[in-house]
Structure 1
């Protein structure tokens, strides 16, 4: 699976860990120290519980200047990759496979976008992302010093090739902020990762806000079975 992030209504696509980190699931004798940082971050967000998930439901919403610009609901069965999209009064279903027709590709592009926002920590393990070494720096919104990584994708394949995401996190390994950088270098967009909630062991951030608060991408009706 390749990625498409960021605002679909704008038609754009939108970690070596310190050995003393004690993220959830890391045993105290440091047995996790040999795991790649992206694996540690994914597990801190509940990756090990994903194998038990039979169905995920969520509604993807985008609000700008207090106006709701996008709202669409998804039901995803990971074990079969059957996906249902509901927009307004219309529901359509497809199964992710190699040969999608044009209508299915349009739905899949939206699903990749929306599900990457929902489960990006897992996607760092599932996808073919290039992961930089861990560094320290000031987060773009809070200006607080945090650990950060660059997660980048190649120029070929996927819906938005060449994009980069700089993710910021603290010692619990939960994402706090990130910056989207477009492949052409002409666009950057920082947003928060906040309002975390635990769904059957999956830690999901339900709200992402711009520095001025005028833009918010948020999830409602989240259910994990």
Structure 2
């Protein structure tokens, strides 16, 4: 009889524990901020599995073309690039006067590549505002808008602002860059041609309304830590 009572108590405790865990999971989902929702929609949780990210940053403006290639070892935080035939390797924790210009280029290009993740990485460095039913600048479709404004100190471009436009799935469709948080837009582009690379959802193409400006990524590859 005692065994049956103990078993019943244990079963109740087990079921109760499962219910508590379910409730905790639901609460965690409810507690996600808008920053986290956007970042997670783009695979932020999978970034920890990435060891190396290689990509070529391309810009077509009217008849001109510009590109530069990067290899970022996220495990060691080292960056390799080919700068006009000269290969440069540096550690991001020890940028000096010789590598500061190269690092500024890397930060710019990486931001275009992984901007949704910076919503979590940089969250202590900007203020933000979230609005529903705002008109997207290119498609004119109603979307959610998340505006972030960086502080006036630190970084390569302090005080800049970004307006992210997205739907109920939190996947970015368009954005506006406003240098120095000015009212007028400095750049307005789409976010399209998404690919899923080892769990990271990355927009490979960004272009303005008339297509005269295109910023896109080629040679994109994400190597996972579990494939060493």
TM tier, smaller: 0.7 to 0.9
Unaligned runs of 5+ in 2: 1-24, 224-228
Q: Does 1:169 align with 2:166?
A: yes
Q: Which deviations, in whole Å up to 9, do the C-alpha atoms of 1:123-144 show, x marking residues without a partner?
A: 0100122221333200000000
Contact persistence 2:58–2:217 (CA under 8 A): yes
**Residue 65 (str. 1) matches residue 65 (str. 2):** no
Structure label with greater radius of gyration: 2
Q: Distance in 2 between matches of 1:182 and 1:71?
A: 22
Q: Helix, strand or coil for the counterpart of 2:143?
A: strand
Residue 76 of structure 1 is matched in structure 2 by 72
* Distance (Å, rounded) in 2 between the aligned partners of 1:184 and 1:134: 17
Task: Give distance in 1, aligned partners of 2:132 and 2:51.
Answer: 36
Query: Which residue of 22, 33, 36 corresponds with 2:33?
Result: 36
Match in the other structure for 1:214: 212
Point out which structure has higher relative CO (alpha carbons under 8 A, 6+ apart). Answer: 1
Contact 2:130 2:144 in 1 (8 A): no
- The CA RMSD measured in Å over matched residues stands at 1.6
Task: Look up the SS of the partner of 2:130 in the other structure.
Answer: coil
Per the normalisation by structure 2, the TM-score is 0.82
CA distances 1:94-151 after superposition (whole Å, capped 9, x unpaired): 0011x42212111110010000000000001001222213332000000000011101
Q: Which among 108, 115, 130 is matched to residue 113 of structure 1? A: 108
Q: How does 1:110-149 map to 2 (within 5 A)?
A: 110-127=105-122, 128-149=125-146
CA distance in 2 between counterparts of 1:114 and 1:122 reads 14
Is residue 110 of structure 2 the alignment partner of residue 92 of structure 1?
A: no
Normalized per residue, the structure richer in helix is 2
Distance 1:66 1:195, change over 3 A: farther
Query: Which residue number in structure 2 is paired with residue 190 of structure 1?
Result: 188
Gaps of at least 5 residues in structure 1 are 1-27
Aligned match for 2:197, one of 191, 196, 199? 199
Q: Is the 8 A contact 1:59 1:73 kept in 2?
A: yes
Deviation at 1:75, TM superposition (A): 0.2
Q: Give CA-to-partner distance per residue, 1:64-120, whole Å, 9 cap, x none.
A: 11421x2000000112110001134221000011x4221211111001000000000
Instruction: Report the 3-state secondary structure (helix = DSSP H, G, I; strand = E; otherwise coil) of the residue aligned with 2:180.
Output: coil
Aligned residues: 196
8 Å CA contact retained: 2:161, 2:181: no
